[in-house]
Amino acid sequence: TDVTIPKGLSGHEIISDNLYNKGTAFTNAERIALRIDGLLPPVVNTIEEQEARIMENYRRKSTNIEKYIFLMSLLDHNLILFNRVLVNHLEEMMPIIYTPTVGEACLEYSHILRRPQGMFLAANEKGRYAELLRQWPESDVRVIVVTDGERILGLGDLGTSGMGIPVGKLCLYAAGAGIPFHQCLPVMIDVGTNNAEFINDPLYIGLRQERLRGDAYDELIDEFIMAVQEVFPNALIQFEDFGNQN
C-alpha cells in the first residue's frame, strides 16, 4: 500500500527513497504536486504493468543468485512494488529471498553488495549503540531480526556477510504476515569473525578480528538490548543464527 510522503522532500528525494518511490506508477497529478514529473518518463503505468515488467526481467535471469540480486535491487528502489511482487509470487520467490539461495548470497555478500540494508553495530562502537540506532530514519520499529553471523544456516561463521539472513527473514514477515516494511529493522552486530577466508578477503565488509568472547561479548549484547528498549520500546527482538554457546 501507499505511504504518506512527508512534506518538504524534494522530488529527487522522493524517488530516491525506496519507501516513497512508486516509479512510473505515480499519477500525473501526483507527479505535478510532488515536482517529479520531469524526473520520470511520461507514461503512467499501473501497478499490474509494473509487476509484469519486473516478472519478465526476473524470469530472464539464468541463475538463482542473479534473481536474488535483482530482487534486492528492487527492494532498494521501490518497496511498494517489491512487496506486491513478493506477495503475488511468494511460492516462487521464497527459495530465492530465503533458503536455499540466501545462503549462497551470504557467502558472496561482500562481493554482491549494492546498497547496505539495515543497521550495522560494530564491536568497536561500544557505548554508542543507542546513538547509532537513532540514525535509523524510522522511529516506530516493531520487529528487529538481529544476528552476529556466527552460525548462518549450515554454513558456519560468515561474520557480517550473514546480514542477508535478517534482511531475507523480514522480507518474508512483511510479505507473509503483512508487517509494514518501515516497521522492520535488520541488524548485524559485528563482533568479528573466525573465518580466515573472509578476514583475508580484501572486499570483506566486516571487522577483521577474531570473535569477541566472554564478558566483552555479553556486554555488547546487553548494550544492544538496552539501546533497543530505549530507542524502539515497541520492538520485538528476534535473535537469529547466533552460535549455540551464546
Residues involved in catalysis? 98, 169
121: helix, strand or coil: strand
Using CA atoms of 87, 93, 96, 98 in order, give the dihedral in degrees to the nearest 10: 40
How far CA 170 is from CA of 176, 189, 218, 233, in Å, comes to 10, 17, 25, 19
Burial class (CB in 10 A: 0-12, 13-18, 19+), 186: buried
**What cell does 175 get?**
510479505
Q: Which residue has the cell 543507542?
A: 130
**CA gyration radius, the chain:** 19
